[in-house]
């Protein structure tokens, strides 16, 4: 087994220094790459939190405070969220960490601040002892003019009553309603927008979601996730209304539900569209992995856990090596990169992966990279992204659109949000989840390894798709439609 060691910034970093770079982002990326190995994510096994990718947005959020050149074409067009100017918005997060949900809500906070909304943030669950991540994220928000309030107390209640809009983030945040607002819940519900990013069974608790039918709307990251919530609430939750003792329902009905696909941040697009930055990052990462420029890298970038399917990916990868060897195909040497390792969190599964690699004697073809705070360098360095999330798949899977921004084709499971992003046969290839998917994925790996032209074309098509549908301004536009609707309802 070979554990990646990120050494000191090497020749490529020296190259940058010599050439007086204008890319702080890139330097930071390199810096992060070589120094930070901590990754503080708790929901590693959640199929709906793309954690490795999510932390990337944290980096970008930090960078967003610095002056920078925006290469996107939206600077002159009016911001779709302009109507939120001077509105009071209360954001309630179930927790504050570097995982997908809270970081998305922070992005929304910054988008709203960007148009002059008054934004107040509440974190419902905090550990009793001081926490470095929470401290840092709260200060990030304070720097950007977001007010941070304690979850409990009169000020929280007053703000909720006064707010034009209250956004609850994730199902778990529902606990805050009864816990804090108490008899005021009913007054606040008509202006609540519930943003949901998960589809795991344990979220379907009455305690969390009993007020769901009475809020102004739900906003969900993909059609599949929305449908899943509709199914689950209909099928599973026995229910009696807290406001109407005489009536009893045998189900929870979803409120009006809006599907809002996410978008790539401007900062990510900036790196993705900077060919010099990409080249430098590519050389740097490839050197640190010990692979050559013309080697082909298939990478899976997710917190390592069974739900994300790294085990099945390695099996497919091994099969693809055998196919290439058996058919004596002339291809560059192919490598698998697993970004998102955390031996301490997933010891059993990680050990299983490494044993597989040893047993099949593919140590020189498989590279494990610890969880990292930034994924852009890896996206610059690889040739194909593998999205192998199992079971119901990703709720959305932000790493998928990030990879497409880097003109990478995606080999993804035919499940969840991936199916709404990847156009099968055009921007990537889909394979079934589970063991049935192992051989199809192996075949797809071989296909993309042997057909250079096809691989590059798929990457370009993916990039075009991102430019058409998955940019920050697209997301802002989609969110704006929902917020308008919720404001309208809240007033009536
Ligand atoms: C990766 O993490 C493990 C512990 O989980 C640590 O022992 C190892 O040094 C880390 N590797 C790098 C390159 O930081
Ligand atoms: C929802 O239920 C329908 C049938 O009632 C089923 O066909 C569909 O696959 C389910 N969708 C999800 C996402 O669970
Ligand atoms: C994807 O396309 C391939 C052919 O290009 C087809 O064999 C496969 O069934 C498709 N998968 C899905 C999920 O549509």
Q: Quick one: three-class SS letters along 105-151?
A: HHHHHHHHHHCCCEEEEEECCCCCCCCHHHHHHHHHHHHCCCEEECC
Decide: 5 in ligand 1 pocket, CB within 6 A.
Answer: yes
Among the bound ligands, name the one nearest to the CA of residue 431.
3
CA–centroid distance, 202 to ligand 2, in Å, is 18
Decide: 6 in ligand 1 pocket, CB within 6 A.
Answer: yes
pTM for the structure as a whole: 0.84
Q: Is the pLDDT of residue 302 over 60?
A: yes
Closest CA to 163 of 209, 94, 115, 117: 117
Distance of CA 314 to the CA centre of its chain: 22
pLDDT at 98: 79
The CA-atom distances, in angstroms, between 384 and each of 79, 134, 399, 406, 438 are 34, 34, 12, 10, 17
Q: Name the percent of the chain lying above pLDDT 70.
A: 81
| Average pLDDT over the chain, rounded to an integer | 85
210-232 burial code (b ≥16 CB/10 A, e <16): bbbbbbbbbbbbbebbbebbeeb
- When mean pLDDT is compared across 3-7, 21-25, 319-323, 382-386, the lowest value belongs to 3-7
Q: Name the percent of the chain lying above pLDDT 90.
A: 72
Q: Whose CA is nearest to atom 9 of ligand 1?
A: 5
pLDDT at 5: 29
CA–centroid distance, 254 to ligand 2, in Å, is 15
Q: Is the pLDDT of residue 470 over 70?
A: yes
pLDDT at 35: 35
At 40-51, the pLDDT tens digits run 222 333 445 444
d(CA 393, CA 475): 21
What does the pLDDT average to over 106-111? 96
Query: C-alpha angle with apex 173: 484 to 49, nearest 5 degrees?
Result: 90
Closest CA to 397 of 415, 417, 423, 375: 417
Q: Is the pLDDT of residue 37 over 60?
A: no
Among 44, 288, 370, the mutation site with the greatest number of ligand 1 atoms within 8 A of its Cβ is 370
CA–centroid distance, 227 to ligand 2, in Å, is 7
CA–centroid distance, 9 to ligand 1, in Å, is 17
Among the bound ligands, name the one nearest to the CA of residue 232.
2
At 243-267, the pLDDT tens digits run 555 554 556 789 999 999 999 999 9
CA–centroid distance, 248 to ligand 1, in Å, is 54
At 1-24, the pLDDT tens digits run 332 323 333 333 333 333 444 455
Q: Is the pLDDT of residue 137 over 90?
A: yes
Give all domains of the chain, ordered by start, each with its CATH number.
78-262+473-491 (3.40.50.2000), 267-470 (3.40.50.2000)
Q: Is the pLDDT of residue 475 over 80?
A: yes
Pairing between β-strand 296-301 and β-strand 384-387 as defined by DSSP bridges: parallel
pLDDT at 395: 93
At 265-286, the pLDDT tens digits run 999 999 999 999 999 999 999 9
Query: C-alpha angle with apex 110: 116 to 100, nearest 5 degrees?
Result: 155
Ligand 2 atom closest to the CA of 224, numbered from 1 = 13
Q: Pocket residues for ligand 2 (CB within 6 Å)?
A: 224, 227-228, 231
What does the pLDDT average to over 374-380? 94
Among the bound ligands, name the one nearest to the CA of residue 223.
2
């Amino acid at each position: 087994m070979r554990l990646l060691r990120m050494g000191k910034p090497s020749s490529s970093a020296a190259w940058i220094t010599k050439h007086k770079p204008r890319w702080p982002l890139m330097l930071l990326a390199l810096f992060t790459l070589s120094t930070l190995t901590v990754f503080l994510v708790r929901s590693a096994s959640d199929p709906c939190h793309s954690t490795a990718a999510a932390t990337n947005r944290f980096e970008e959020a930090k960078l967003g405070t610095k002056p920078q050149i925006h290469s996107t074409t939206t600077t002159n067009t009016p911001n779709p969220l302009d109507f939120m100017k001077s509105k009071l918005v209360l954001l309630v997060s179930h927790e504050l960490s570097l995982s997908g949900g809270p970081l998305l809500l922070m992005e929304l906070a910054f988008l709203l601040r960007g148009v002059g909304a008054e934004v107040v943030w509440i974190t419902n669950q905090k550990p009793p002892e001081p926490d470095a991540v929470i401290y840092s994220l709260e200060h990030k928000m304070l720097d950007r003019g977001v007010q941070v309030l304690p979850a409990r107390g009169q000020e929280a209640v007053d703000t909720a009553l006064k707010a034009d809009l209250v956004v609850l983030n994730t199902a778990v945040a529902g606990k805050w309603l009864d816990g804090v607002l108490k008899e005021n819940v009913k007054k606040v519900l008509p202006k609540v927008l519930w943003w949901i990013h998960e589809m795991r069974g344990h979220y379907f608790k009455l305690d969390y979601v009993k007020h769901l039918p009475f809020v102004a709307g739900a906003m969900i990251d993909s059609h599949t996730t929305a449908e899943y919530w509709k199914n689950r609430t209909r099928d599973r939750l026995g229910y009696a209304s807290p406001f109407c003792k005489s009536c009893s329902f045998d189900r929870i009905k979803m409120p009006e539900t809006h599907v809002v696909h996410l978008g790539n941040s401007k900062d990510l697009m900036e790196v993705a569209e900077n060919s010099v930055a990409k080249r430098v990052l590519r050389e740097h990462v490839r050197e640190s992995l010990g692979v050559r420029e013309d080697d082909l890298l298939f990478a899976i970038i997710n917190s390592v856990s069974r739900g994300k399917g790294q085990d099945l990916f390695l099996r497919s990868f091994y099969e693809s090596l055998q196919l290439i060897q058996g058919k004596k195909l002339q291809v560059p040497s192919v490598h698998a990169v697993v970004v998102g390792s955390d031996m301490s969190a997933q010891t059993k599964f990680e050990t299983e992966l490494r044993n597989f690699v040893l047993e099949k004697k593919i140590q020189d073809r498989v590279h494990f990279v610890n969880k990292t705070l930034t994924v852009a360098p890896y996206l610059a360095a690889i040739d194909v992204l593998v999205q192998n999330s199992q079971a119901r798949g990703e709720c959305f899977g932000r790493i998928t659109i990030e990879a497409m921004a880097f003109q990478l084709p995606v080999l993804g499971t035919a499940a969840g949000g991936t199916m709404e992003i990847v156009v099968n046969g055009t921007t990537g290839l889909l394979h079934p989840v589970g063991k049935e998917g192992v051989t199809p994925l192996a075949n797809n790996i071989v296909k993309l390894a042997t057909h250079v032209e096809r691989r590059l074309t798929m990457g370009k098509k993916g990039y075009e798709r991102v430019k058409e549908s998955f940019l920050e301004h697209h997301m802002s536009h989609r969110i704006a439609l929902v917020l308008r609707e919720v404001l309208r309802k809240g007033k009536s």
